[in-house]
């Protein structure tokens, strides 16, 4: 099969269209490293050239996508120190390490979370018999036999994962012709075709082999006429790098994807990826798995991004899967226990995880978008709201008593494709920038949204302020009136404050002075003594901010104390990755774990 790397040059500039994962990344990915030593991701300010940056820091360009560069740092042991300097450089819009990301079903994904074995964490019941694929309970749970208005025609679903078995008979005809006898796709691991391949060698970790093929089969089952854009950004162990994920998202956007499925994550916000996702939010429904820790305290990015649909997993009776994360970040849920789908080498398998709940939502999004395209153009906000608002409530299901308001509703393809069009809506967002020009760490965003005449919300998110500290929020409206409130940051210095006309357990009532939300103009975060920390103004930033706010996304003491830069060596402070103890040096960057 002739797979071609298709790139819309006007939208996406890449030095190596299918450049494989760097040797450093491939070497580190086999263990539990959190990032690729000696590599940094940098986005430049307008008017700055990469030659200027390279001359200043001795770096060299490994790869480029748009205005974002992957750089090699000459002294790999100084990765964090160099990244910190880059973040403080006024010529740099954003900088970060090339962190690893992983599928929630990877056996040993690198992160700060403790190691954990997930139930059914590897595919089971692998067979050549497709009967289970066609008769599994999920099909009746979602009432797929009753979906009649659309089959996903005209929609492209980008699948960023381990690749896809391109020769599987149930996936044949599901890809996008490139006009030259081949199909569109991209391999960022080895180059070539985005095949879902098994790793070789006695120590090869194939815990996520088949992950992408399995997801593709679920998308094809729910939206059989949608076309899949396979992008291989994770290796057979389920691990990839931030930079390759950024390239994957930008490739999906440039290729016209209407839905982007992301069954992977990392414990912290990833520098560079937030910009790529923000750039895609108006043209594609973004869907991500929330992770398999069975926790409401362990966040996973990009599911934690406000404009990404975060998907939890249920069993077929509507009970939260024991392994599924939950909490206020969850938007919607889908079956994710003992699903049957396609598997490499023309086989089928059974697997469980939020990784596989996510594509059921992505495929349903494809159905909704297909219906939109048949009568006009895509409306991402409308499609997203439709999926959430038409979901079947599961709070009342026996067994979900402890998760009320924390697992969303079960996605409903039938109701989502038969509901009336969304009411007129408006959404805009601004960045909250640090008032102190020397503060390159703190940041945030504010968003105001109107959905119809009655449903309105105003949300503020802050990041990397002082941990467990009370701040004031001051909002000035178009008439000059002010509204003040207070909030307390969590252990990472983050907080989210949401106001809605119809408030629930996770939001506060929308005050009269902020109604309608279109009157909200100036947003400020203040210390208790009244001094400003963050500020943003809707009147000077129509359409929202650019999401490029810099700052350190770590919550682990990175670069803040003594100790070795990458290994936690040296006396005094802890290691910079785990914030480990003092004295003889804290923990290094090898803290194990799965997402």
Q: Is 161 a catalytic residue?
A: yes
| Candidates 211, 258, 554, 589; catalytic one | 211
Q: Is 258 a catalytic residue?
A: no
φ/ψ of residue 60, rounded to 5: -135, 155
- Judged by DSSP in three states, 577 sits in coil
**Residue 325 to residue 552: CA distance in whole angstroms:** 25
**Residue 187 to residue 165: CA distance in whole angstroms:** 13
**Residue 424 to residue 81: CA distance in whole angstroms:** 48
Report the run of H or E that residue 141 belongs to, with start and end. helix 137-141
Residue 11 CB neighbour total at 10 angstroms: 14
**Residue 554 to residue 556: CA distance in whole angstroms:** 6
Q: Is 467 a catalytic residue?
A: no
**Residue 67 to residue 592: CA distance in whole angstroms:** 33
Query: Residue 104: exposed, middle, or buried by beta-carbon count in 10 A (0-12, 13-18, 19+)?
Result: buried
**Residue 384 to residue 282: CA distance in whole angstroms:** 11
Please confirm whether the linkage preceding 34 is cis (ω < 30° from 0).
no
Q: Let me know the angle formed at the C-alpha of 112 by 107 and 117, rounded to the nearest 5 degrees.
A: 30
259-262 vs 156-161, strand pairing mode:
parallel
**Percentages (nearest 5) of helix, strand, coil residues in the chain:** 20, 25, 50
Cα 357 to its chain centre, rounded Å, is 15
Distance between the two ends of the chain, CA-based, in angstroms?
35
| Candidates 63, 89, 121, 161; catalytic one | 161
**Residue 292 to residue 572: CA distance in whole angstroms:** 36
φ/ψ of residue 437, rounded to 5: -60, -20
- Judged by DSSP in three states, 54 sits in helix
Taking Cα atoms as reference points, which of 268, 171, 176 lies closest to residue 215?
Answer: 171
CA distances from 562 to 31, 178, 447, 568 (A): 25, 53, 38, 9
**Residue 350 to residue 111: CA distance in whole angstroms:** 26
8 Å CB contact between 461 and 489: no
Q: Under 8 Å CB-to-CB from 294, ≥6 apart: which residues?
A: 322, 323, 324, 325
DSSP character string of 326-344: -STT--EEEE-SSEEEEET
- Judged by DSSP in three states, 303 sits in coil
**Residue 294 to residue 116: CA distance in whole angstroms:** 11
Tokens coding 177: 């012709």
* Residues across the chain: 595
Which amino acids are annotated catalytic? 161, 211, 355
């Amino acid at each position: 099969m002739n797979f071609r790397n298709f790139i819309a040059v006007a939208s996406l500039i890449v030095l190596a269209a299918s450049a494989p994962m760097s040797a450093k990344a491939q070497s580190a990915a086999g263990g539990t490293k959190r990032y690729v030593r000696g590599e940094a991701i940098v986005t430049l300010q307008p008017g700055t050239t990469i030659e200027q940056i390279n001359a200043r820091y001795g770096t060299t360009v490994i790869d480029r996508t748009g205005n974002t560069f992957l750089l090699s740092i000459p002294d790999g042991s100084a990765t964090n120190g160099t990244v910190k300097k880059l973040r403080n450089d006024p010529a740099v819009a954003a900088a970060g390490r090339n962190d690893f990301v992983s599928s929630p079903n990877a056996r040993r994904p690198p992160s700060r979370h403790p190691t954990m074995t997930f139930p059914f964490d590897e595919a089971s019941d692998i067979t050549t018999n497709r009967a289970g694929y066609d008769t599994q309970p999920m099909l009746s749970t979602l009432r797929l036999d009753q979906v009649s208005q659309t089959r996903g025609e005209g929609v492209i679903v980008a699948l960023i994962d381990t690749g896809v078995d391109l020769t599987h008979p149930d996936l044949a005809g599901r890809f996008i012709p490139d006009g030259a006898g081949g199909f569109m796709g991209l391999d960022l691991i080895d180059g070539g075709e985005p095949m879902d391949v098994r790793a070789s060698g006695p120590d090869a970790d194939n815990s996520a082999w088949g992950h992408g093929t399995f997801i593709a089969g679920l998308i094809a089952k729910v939206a059989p006429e949608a076309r899949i854009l396979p992008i291989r950004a994770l290796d057979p162990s389920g691990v990839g790098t931030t930079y390759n994920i950024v390239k994957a998202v930008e490739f999906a956007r440039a290729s016209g994807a209407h839905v982007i499925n992301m069954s992977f994550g990392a414990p912290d916000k990833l520098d560079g990826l937030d910009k790529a996702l923000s750039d895609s939010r108006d043209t594609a429904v973004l869907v991500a798995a929330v992770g398999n820790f069975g926790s409401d305290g362990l966040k996973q990015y990009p599911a934690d991004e406000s404009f990404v649909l975060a998907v939890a997993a249920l069993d077929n009776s509507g009970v939260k899967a024991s392994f599924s994360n939950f909490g206020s970040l969850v938007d919607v849920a889908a079956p994710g226990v003992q699903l049957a789908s396609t598997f490499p080498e023309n086989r089928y398998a059974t697997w469980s995880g939020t990784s596989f709940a996510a594509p059921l939502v992505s495929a349903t999004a494809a159905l909704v978008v297909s219906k939109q395209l048949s009568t006009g153009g895509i409306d991402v906000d409308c499609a997203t709201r439709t999926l959430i608002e038409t979901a079947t409530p599961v709070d009342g299901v026996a067994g979900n008593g402890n998760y009320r308001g924390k697992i969303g509703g079960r996605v409903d393809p039938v109701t989502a494709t038969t509901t009336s069009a969304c009411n007129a809506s408006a959404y805009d967002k601004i960045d909250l920038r640090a008032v102190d020009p020397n503060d390159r760490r703190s940041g945030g965003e504010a968003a105001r949204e109107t959905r119809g005449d009655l449903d309105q919300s105003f949300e503020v998110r802050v990041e990397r302020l002082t941990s467990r500290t009370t701040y004031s929020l001051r909002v000035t409206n178009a008439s000059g009136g002010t509204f003040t409130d207070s909030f307390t940051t969590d252990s990472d210095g983050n907080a989210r404050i949401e106001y809605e006309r119809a408030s629930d357990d996770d939001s506060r009532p929308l005050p009269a002075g902020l109604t309608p939300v279109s009157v909200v103009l100036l947003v400020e975060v203040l210390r208790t003594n009244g001094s400003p920390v963050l500020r943003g103004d809707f009147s000077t930033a129509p359409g929202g901010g650019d999401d490029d706010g810099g700052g350190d996304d770590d919550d682990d003491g990175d670069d803040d104390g003594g100790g070795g830069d990458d290994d936690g060596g040296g006396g005094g402070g802890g290691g910079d990755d785990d914030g480990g103890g003092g004295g003889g040096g804290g923990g290094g960057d090898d803290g194990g774990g799965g997402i």
